[in-house]
Chain A
């Protein structure tokens, strides 16, 4: 009998604010230890939290994107436990009244669409971190990260394979960046995925789950889940039992390992934080956020197909990140939407290729959307051919100026003067009598050879359409 895999994900998305959730300290990454931990973050005696307004709007954005219920009354609670990276001895989080309630996210795996339920998303503060090796036998505590705002997005256990889990995680990763609520940087821990994995016989109640934590790439998340599924099935098939525990993924050996299990279950003693009052969200608050909502990836993709005539694949590539989509749309609009398909080709192939090679992201592109549009305009008005355009593109990449400046300074303007082209054609035909003979003898494919020769003679600048037309006319004389 087969096994059914059940996966639910808990995603911690760090919100893109200037300051912490309860204090005015910066959350900029990479500062010297404890230089961004103020008395409030440190939980010093008498210090009190005041909620950062930015986290509310960002949470509502997510709720709208997930078609989720919004907690009109949202309450912060304290989760009590002792740990050195938790300065107050409790984490301020949400339990009974989270800011985002039930919603869903649609994923697509192997052409199949599937709705994954989102149980809730709640606001909470991040903890600090321990640093080792400063003093033997001691750990150093850096509380810069303590109090950084997080949205913990909890899914339903709706995923049935590692592939689905990763598709969901990627989709959420794309979404939070689109919404401008999280920078998605997995290396810096801005987007963290914890996976709850269990297996069961179909129709049976949920099996015991294990939690996979601290994996900072989608590829490793998939591998870790796959390993974990195999491991659990093996244990169950050999008559063993799964232990509920947290496991870490060892990428070097492609295995998951148990974290030391705690001796007893935690008793977190959640209760409403008496230093904070309930947050009330009004319909006006929600409408204000809705008015500012960016177009979401799925809607954008559909529009690229219907409005721009792109195929699904291209639409998918161009909407993979909000920055890329915005760039593309800027190019289309600056070329007055004359040829969105041509714009798509330039953005997806030449530009993306060059960016990849240089290891740059779209926001760091040396060619602006305006510049690229300027070049495409010159293709569309026959000033340059597509081939010449590649030279122009390279020159723009190197910062040599706008398309017009480059065309001018390098003399790349296309030859469209019929008499000039005729002269070139005459010259080529005169120099290739035997090939002319062959053509006239029925080898019409020789036409391509003549076109190539004419283009070569023109230094690539002759208008290929005109060359074709004039050649055909001359050869049929």
Chain B
């Protein structure tokens, strides 16, 4: 059952060939069997899942079901889920049972999707390997020595291993696309403002954006349909006409102009990854696309700018974790200052503390202009690069990450080398553009993704390109042998 596409699942559910209870139980069984080793879930919610599956079956039998009704989903543990622990993979929230649902969770509940559980991640979404989780690292299903990427590493792993048919993720600097690339799945980060941030524990508010993580582009289109939409509770949510993301999947790619930036194929890019990406672009060319050279000259400024701006926002966003109203509180605080200092020091892991401290420093008196304002200006330069590039092309293609998945423990001692692993994804977040990772091949049995970036609101186009590519390739259908 876990090899079906979402469309097939939906058809079988509606035809009564399978029930949601059977489907959900199938995934719960697989989780029991495999997740102890993989550590992709922080929390599994079998009772909730089965209750929702029964409700879905009722709707299916009554004929009131929607397309996704009965298809289970796994939520990244950054989405608040009413009555279920929402930890952000942090000791700080290890005891936090969210008293409300995130907008995305509400939407997917309305769509009738049983919740299998909450997936592991880098603590507070700060990381590129899912190793900074309080609950330990998630393993890459393709190679247990490797990281699944991050921060949505648990979500990518559960899709790759068939421990959920669909998963939600968030992407602040590459956190959907990079783990999708490392785990050989499809992931799309929509235009900033497409999916409501309400109820998503904030990392960096002007970058955070949620999106679907699935096997195929078609699956992603279906899930994005349910996730996206205006929400009045998020001031940055965009009020736009509802888009049918699946509607354009079968459009021809004839005449499509694909921009290839020289800067994305320079020093630091693994030659084998480069080959896979170039082959994938050639495949798209065969489908009728025209390749044009474009330039993103300020690409290298994106990483430092991001690591000023995102931590600056994070340092403020994470001030609410003070041991007073929720979350971890130290034992016997001797005074107020001690309550804050110790609760936060004990509750946050090393990387989170590091980013909070860096962010506080970047905003502090005397450094604000040199760091924060400067980085905001670079953000504009990076965005303007894309604007210019999209005058010459419809989409941009390149690598998602410079290498395939690295080994667990390989970069944990050197945070800055980890930061540089996001050099291709970060510029997209600075600009707020939609970006996607599509499985495109393997290097030493570790997956590699093709990065597709489009202008604002071009999700339908990105999904269309990915879907067409997936009609002529089978990378997205492959599964690690032991999980088949």
Chain A residues near B (Cβ < 8 Å): 39, 42-51, 78, 80, 82, 84, 87-90, 141, 267, 269-271, 274-277
Question: Is the pair A89, B368 in contact by a Cβ cutoff of 8 Å?
Answer: no
Contacts of B372 in A (CB 8 A): 271
Residues from chain A with Cβ under 8 Å of B363 in the complex: 80, 269-271
Contacts of B200 in A (CB 8 A): 46
When the two chains form their complex, are residues B204 and A274 in contact, meaning their CB atoms are under 8 A apart? Answer: yes
Report the stretch among B231-239, B445-453, B458-466 that lies at the interface: B231-239
Contact residues in A for B315 (Cβ distance below 8 Å)? 80, 269
Q: Which A-chain residue is minimally distant from B320 (CB atoms)?
A: A43
8 A-B pairs (CB sep. < 8 Å): A45-B98, A46-B199, A80-B319, A82-B322, A88-B319, A89-B322, A269-B365, A277-B235
Determine the distance from Cα of A78 to Cα of B29 in the docked complex, in whole angstroms: 47
CB <8 Å contact, A275 and B80: no
- Asked if A275 and B235 make an inter-chain contact with CB atoms under 8 angstroms apart, the answer reads yes
Which single residue of chain A is at the shortest CB-CB distance from B344?
A82
A275 touches B236 (CB 8 A): yes
Asked if A48 contacts B313 (CB within 8 A), the reply is no
Q: Which of B93, B234, B313, B360 sits near A45, CB closer than 8 Å?
A: B93
Q: Which residue of B lies closest to A81 (CB)?
A: B319
13 more contacts with CB within 8 A, not counting A39-B99, A269-B368, A271-B316, are A43-B320, A45-B86, A45-B320, A45-B321, A46-B201, A46-B202, A48-B233, A80-B363, A141-B324, A274-B204, A274-B313, A275-B202, A275-B235
**Does the CB pair B198–A46 fall under 8 Å?**
yes
> CA A445 – CA B145 in complex, angstroms?
121
| Contact residues in B for A82 (Cβ distance below 8 Å) | 319, 322, 340
Bound-state CA distance A270–B364 (Å) is 8
Indicate if the CB atoms of B234 and A48 lie closer than 8 Å.
yes
Could you say which residues of chain B place their CB within 8 Å of the CB of A50? 232-235
Residue of B nearest to A40 (CB): B233
Complex Cα spacing A75 to B372, Å = 17
Distance in angstroms between the alpha carbons of A48 and B201 in the assembled complex: 10
In the bound complex, do residue B235 and residue A42 qualify as a contact, i.e. CB atoms below 8 Å apart? no
**A42: chain B residues within 8 A (beta carbon):** 325
B483 sits at the interface (CB 8 A): no
Select which of A51, A269, A270 is within 8 A of B360 by beta carbon: A269
Residue from A89, A270, A274 within 8 A of B205 (CB atoms): A274
| Nearest CB in chain B: distance from A355 CB, A | 45
CB distance from B4 to the nearest CB of A (A): 33
Residue in B closest to A88 when the chains form the complex, CB atoms: B320
Q: Looking at the assembled complex, report how far the CB atom of A358 sits from the nearest CB atom of chain B, in whole angstroms.
A: 45
Is the C-beta of B336 less than 8 angstroms from some C-beta in chain A? yes
Q: Which residues of B contact A44 (CB under 8 A)?
A: 99-100, 320, 325-326
Q: Please, how many angstroms separate the alpha-carbon atoms of A71 and B324 in the complex?
A: 36
Give complex CA distance A47, B201 in Å. Answer: 8
Residue B197 at the A interface, CB < 8 A? Answer: yes
B365→A277 contact, CB < 8 A:
no
Q: Judge whether B457 is part of the interface by a CB distance below 8 angstroms.
A: no
A88 cross-chain contacts in B, Cβ below 8 A: 319-320
Q: Report chain B residues within 8 Å CB of A277.
A: 235-236
Complex alpha-carbon distance, A274 and B203, angstroms: 11
Identify the closest chain A residue to B101 (Cβ). A46
Q: How far is the CB of A55 from chain B (nearest CB, A)?
A: 14
Q: Which residues on the B side are within 8 Å of A43 (C-beta)?
A: 320, 325
B312 at the interface (CB under 8 A from A): yes
**Would B96 and A49 count as touching, CB distance under 8 A?**
no
**Shortest distance in angstroms between A80's beta carbon and chain B's nearest beta carbon?**
5
A269: chain B residues within 8 A (beta carbon): 315-316, 360, 363-365, 368
**Which residues does chain A contribute within 8 Å of B368, judged by CB atoms?**
269, 271
Bound state CA distance, A398 and B257, in angstroms? 87
Q: In the assembly, what is the distance between CA of A267 and CA of B362, in Å?
A: 12
Contacts of B201 in A (CB 8 A): 45-46
- Docked complex Cα distance between A49 and B98 (Å): 18
- Please give me the residue from chain A that is nearest to B236 by CB atom: A277
Asked if B256 is at the interface of the complex by the 8 Å CB criterion, the answer is no
Residue pair A51, B235 in contact (C-beta under 8 Å): yes
Query: Which residues, 60 to 81 on B, are CB-close (under 8 Å) to A?
Result: 80
B48 within 8 A of A: no
A367 and B235 CA atoms in complex are apart in Å by: 48
User: What does the 1/0 interface line of B330-341 toward A look like (CB < 8 Å)?
Assistant: 000000100010
Give the residue of A45, A270, A276 whose beta carbon is less than 8 angstroms from that of B326.
Answer: A45
Top 7 A-B residue pairs of the complex, sorted by shortest distance between their CB atoms:
A89-B319, A269-B363, A274-B205, A274-B206, A43-B320, A46-B199, A45-B201
Q: Which residues of B are found within 8 Å of A39, using beta-carbon distances?
A: 99-100
- B235 lies within 8 A of A89 (CB): no
Beta-carbon nearest neighbor of B202 in chain A: A46
Q: How far is the CA of A26 from the CA of B397 in the complex (A)?
A: 51
> Within the complex, what minimum Cβ distance (angstroms) separates B81 from chain A?
11
0/1 string, B364-392, CB within 8 A of A gives 1: 11001000100000000000000000000
Kindly provide the distance from the CB of B441 to the nearest chain A CB, expressed in whole angstroms: 37
Given A88-B319, A269-B360, A274-B206: A46 touches B102 (CB 8 Å cut-off) = yes
Which residues on A sit within 8 Å (CB–CB) of B88? 45
Q: Which residues of A contact B102 (CB under 8 A)?
A: 46
Tell me the minimal C-beta distance from A454 to chain B in angstroms. Answer: 77
Is the Cβ of B324 less than 8 Å from the Cβ of A45?
Answer: no
* Given the contacts A269-B363, A271-B312, A274-B205, A84 and B336 also touching, CB distance less than 8 Å: yes
Q: Mark B300-328, 1 if CB is under 8 A from A, else 0.
A: 00000000000011011001111011100
Q: Which residues of B contact A274 (CB under 8 A)?
A: 204-206, 313
Q: Is the CB of B197 within 8 A of A48?
A: yes
**In the complex, A157 Cα to B204 Cα: how many Å?**
39
Chain B residues with CB under 8 A of A49: 235
Task: Say how far A77's CB is from chain B's closest CB, in angstroms.
Answer: 10
A70 to B278, CA, bound (A): 55
Q: Tell me which residues across on chain A come within 8 A of B198, comparing CB atoms.
A: 46-48
